Amino acid sequence: MPCKALLISLLWLLGVSYGSSAQEAGERDPTRPLVVVSEQTARSVARLPNLNLDFIRYSSTQSVVSINGELYQRGDEIRGWTVIRIEPDRVTLYRDEETIVLSVFAGLVRSTLKEQP
C-alpha cells in the first residue's frame, strides 16, 4: 500500500512539474482558440485607443460590459466609441463609419462599414 501512495505522489509531482514548465516554455493553452493576426491588423490595432475588455455579463434583457474598469450598456459611449452590440463573447463598438470588436478570446478586430458584407 505505501508503494502505491508513493507512485501516485510521484506521478502527481511529475504532472505539476510538466504543467509549470509548459507555461514557462510559452506553450499555447489548448482551450484558447487560435488567433492569426496579420501585419496590417497589428498596425491598425496599434493606432486604436487602449480599450481593455474586463468582462461581459450577458442577458437577453439587459447586458452589461466592463471596459477599462467601467460598466457600459448598449448605446453608451466610451472615448468616442458607441457600444452597438453586446454578445456573450464580444462587444461591438462604432465610430465614424468604423467598427471594432472587443472579444473575450481574440482581443480586438477592426473594420470599416465598407468592408462588411
Each domain of the chain, given as residue ranges in start order, spans 53-103
Which set of grid coordinates corresponds to residue 51? 480599450
The string of pLDDT tens digits covering residues 72-93 is: 999 999 989 999 999 999 999 9
pLDDT of 97 higher than 80: yes
The string of pLDDT tens digits covering residues 51-64 is: 889 999 999 899 99
Dihedral sign for Cα 111, 46, 81, 101, please. Answer: positive
Q: Distances in Å between the alpha carbon of 27 and those of 16, 31, 32, 35, 37?
A: 15, 12, 11, 14, 18
User: Which residues fall within 8 angstroms of residue 41, CB to CB, at 6 or more apart?
Assistant: 109, 110
